[in-house]
Amino acid sequence: MTHVAEDIKVVFMSPINMARKQAKALYDFEGQTPEELSLIADETLTIVNEDVGDGWWEAQNQHGRSGLIPKDYVEVITSMQSLPEPSMPPPPLPGVQAVPAQQSSWQAPAQAGWNNTSSQYTQPVGGWAPPAASTTHTTASAPGADDDDWDDDDWSDDDGSSISTEQNYTGDAHRRVNVPQRDTSASVRTKTVRMSTHNKLGFDIQLLSNPTQSVPESEQVRIIETQRGFEWEANRNSFSCLVDSPKKSSKLKGLKSFTVYQLTPSISGIAVQRRYKHFDWLIGRFVEKYPTIVIPPLPDKQMTGRYEEEFINERMKQLQEWVTRIANHPVVSRSAVWNHFLTCTDEKGWKRGKREAEADKYKGGKFFHTVVTPAAPLEAAQVEKDIDNFYTFTKKMDDGVKELSSAAVDQTKRYPNHFRKEYNKVSQAVNAVKEAFETDGCTDSGPLNNAMAETSKAYADIAIMFQQQPNRDWIPLTDQLQVYRGILSGFEATLGAQKAASAKVRESQKAYEEGKMSDTDVQAFSSHADAISYTLYAEVNHFQANRQQEFKIMMQNLLDEQIDFHRRITQRLEEAKRHYDAF
């Protein structure tokens, strides 16, 4: 028998209930959604349902409240069992794969550049530590690892915190762990964007053997030479895509909630619905397929407040920007998996396309089989020089972006805190003088008192302007800079792969001189290395063209908003001054 009172489900303990398993909470756990039940270490619970899945159970506490709990946070009580205090931190919440930090074999280049053949690049790595009980879950297992249902909850969804601007990453294209730290010092909301999921490329140039059969025209990627250098051939069938109409949905009788976004590509005009986990699966396919193309990072996951209107609208805006970037890439926008993602409308077709994408025979190192390059071989020394210069540029740009991002974050904090408080102090001080004047007993002081009251109000209004302004300029700038930080981190692995390919060519040439390799094999190595270099040239030129245009727009928007902001402040002060001019 179940009674519902004040939104609390109360289950009376019948003999059947009493036969249910009892469990003891090993750790504190703070529920982040209405469906989750908070835990206090050592409290006793009744396990109501163990078949929820994804590492969650449904339980009831001693106060009659029921909800979902992470099963690894409790231990079932057997008869006469005495539970020891846990000796380890809480395990990761359901959906998180603990990936140990990997020591990369890549090393930073020597200061003299890449002429030192032993110098290689460092792939950013990050350690993972078990989260505190209130740290929410992040990424889940590899998409498609177990099942490929349309809404298979083995996939991750919007369930990670995004409060800090500093993150740790580790793993590969299938396993990305984001461990944000909560920033309690900031009184304004800050958002993060997951850094690029690129890592050390998992292919060896020796595996880049000639394809056993011709590559279909639909799979061929062409690189052309233009006045700006080597570039990807433009996608003749480019199109746009609109992301809108987010709505909250649920499954498992309301126990699992998520947000669905509507995507409408211009090629079909037919809307499809996608969850965040579908985007997460898609970016994994891109990273796996294109070794030398830097895929922009997705906006970070979030748990707390993820169904609030403000967050959903901001997430929709960020996803729109990500979709636009993909749609504008001349290679990625032509991919079958991108077309599948945007046009598939039924579950059966989704499963089929998902399997085909995961079994793509032209992914990773075999992607270079599809690349059609100019016939002329590249000059190895010039390639080394150009890539070395670009590496230096990316490091300097990354430092500059970090500095500008830090300044933007500082302004984001100062506007609603320091500046707002200072202008409120001025407002209060002017009002105090006005209140004093009101006690003077003079009959003709009314106009002055009214003018001073208006001045006090003007400064209070300006304080509100400062509180609201970061959402118009500094926060959008910070979001865009975070995306570029992710892109720049992706180039580091890509540049390292090109360096590794060049080293293999040198090794093959040495082997030829020692009579250990044929000239034909040496030429094959050189040809494969050129394919990698050509794609890197094309990707760098694509990046540089977009960077110039996007930073132009970013800075224009910042200045436009700042000009409008100070214009509104000036107008408000002029309005207050006119009250003095009237008498």
Per residue in 281-305, pLDDT (tens digit) is 999 999 999 999 999 999 876 644 5
**179 inside domain:** no
Q: Is the pLDDT of residue 461 over 50?
A: yes
Task: Assess if residue 449 is contained within a domain.
Answer: no
pLDDT at 421: 96
- Convert the pLDDT of each residue in 178-191 to its tens digit: 323 333 333 333 34
Half-sphere exposure of 338 (CA within 13 A, CB side): 26
- How far is 122 from 72, CA to CA, in rounded Å? 35
Structure tokens at 38: 């908070």
Collapsed DSSP state (helix, strand, coil) of residue 216: coil
Q: What percent of the chain has pLDDT over 70?
A: 72
Residue 147 identity (one-letter amino acid): D
CA of residue 30 relative to chain centroid, distance: 24
Determine the pLDDT at residue 115: 34
Mean pLDDT of the chain: 77
Q: Which of 97, 469, 34, 77 is nearest to 250 (CA)?
A: 34
Query: In Å, what is the CA distance from 6 to each residue of 2, 3, 45?
Result: 13, 10, 21
The strand pairing partners of 225, in sequence order, are: 230
Helix (H) or strand (E) holding 112: none
Token pair 């590249």 in the structure block, residue = 378
Domain count, the chain: 1
Q: Taking a C-beta distance cutoff of 8 angstroms, is the pair 97, 141 a contact?
A: yes
Q: What is the CATH number of the domain that holds 50?
A: 2.30.30.40
**Domain housing 62:** 2-76
pLDDT value of position 551: 97
pLDDT at residue 136, as a whole number: 36
Q: What is the average pLDDT across 505-532? A: 88
Kind plus residue range of the DSSP H or E element containing 583: none
pLDDT at 580 over 80: yes
Please state, in angstroms and rounded to a whole number, the distance separating the CA atoms of residues 375 and 166: 45
Give the span between the Cα atoms of 149 and 145, in whole angstroms.
Answer: 11
Token pair for 509: 């040439």
User: What 3-state DSSP class applies to 263?
Assistant: strand
The closest of 110, 107, 114 to 388, measured between CA atoms, is: 114
**Residue 309 binned pLDDT confidence (cut-offs 50, 70, 90):** confident
Residue 64 belongs to some domain of the structure:
yes
pLDDT band at 458 (very low <50, low <70, confident <90, very high): very high
Q: Which of 98, 108, 112, 40 is nearest to 69 (CA)?
A: 40
DSSP per residue, 449-495: HHHHHHHHHHHHHHHHHHHHGGGTTHHHHHHHHHHHHHHHHHHHHHH
Q: Can you tell me the distance from the alpha carbon of 195 to that of 208, in angstroms, rounded to the nearest whole number?
A: 29
On whether residue 37 sits in a domain, the answer given is yes
pLDDT band at 520 (very low <50, low <70, confident <90, very high): confident
Query: So what's the pLDDT on residue 504?
Result: 85
State pLDDT tens for residues 341-396. Answer: 999 999 899 999 999 999 999 998 899 999 999 999 999 899 999 999 999 999 99
In a domain, 195, yes or no: no
**Beta strands 371-372 and 221-226: pairing type?**
parallel
Residue matched to tokens 């289950």: 11
Percentage of the chain modeled with pLDDT above 90: 46
Q: Are 29 and 133 in contact (CB under 8 A)?
A: yes
Domain-embedded: residue 282: no
More confident residue, 199 or 321: 321
With 70 as the cut, is the pLDDT of residue 210 above it?
A: no
For residue 135, give the DSSP letter.
Answer: S
The residues, ordered by sequence, that sit 6+ positions from 469 with a Cβ below 8 Å of its Cβ are 415, 561, 565
Whose CA is closest to 149, among 278, 57, 49?
278
Q: Which residue has the tokens 């540049």?
A: 495
Report DSSP letters for 353-406, one per residue: HHHHHHT-TT-GGGGGGGEE--SSPP-HHHHHHHHHHHHHHHHHHHHHHHHHHH
> For 224, phi and psi rounded to 5 degrees?
-120, 160
- Is pLDDT at 194 greater than 50 in this prediction? no
Q: Judge whether 474 and 562 are in contact, CB under 8 Å.
A: no
Edge-to-edge strand ranges of the sheet holding 66-70: 66-70, 56-60, 44-53, 22-25, 74-76
Return the minimum-mean-pLDDT range out of 14-23, 412-421, 469-478, 505-514.
Answer: 14-23
Q: Nearest-5° angle of CA 282, CA 553, CA 332?
A: 25
> At residue 214, does pLDDT exceed 70?
yes
More confident residue, 125 or 281: 281
Return the minimum-mean-pLDDT range out of 198-202, 298-302, 433-437, 463-467. Answer: 198-202
pLDDT at 34: 73
Task: Flag whether 26 is in a domain.
Answer: yes
Q: Is pTM beyond 0.75 here?
A: no
Q: Which of 70-74, 146-150, 160-164, 420-424 has the lowest mean pLDDT?
A: 160-164
More confident of the two residues 128 and 498:
498
At 340, the amino acid letter reads: H
Taking only the tens place, the pLDDT of each residue in 165-177 is 333 333 333 222 2
Q: Is the pLDDT of residue 86 over 50?
A: no
Could you please report the per-residue DSSP string of 274-335?
EEHHHHHHHHHHHHHH-TTS-PPPPBPP--TTTTSHHHHHHHHHHHHHHHHHHHT-TTGGG-
Task: Read off the pLDDT of residues 25-38 as tens digits, 9 standing for 90 and up.
Answer: 888 888 877 778 88
Inside any domain, residue 224: no
Closest CA to 536 of 114, 230, 199: 230
- Tokens encoding 243: 């992301």
Q: How confident is the model at residue 322 (pLDDT cuts 50, 70, 90)?
A: very high
Per-residue pLDDT of 535-579, as tens digits, reads: 999 999 999 999 999 999 999 999 999 999 999 999 999 999 999
Q: How far apart are CA 469 and CA 485, in angstroms?
A: 24
pLDDT of residue 161: 32
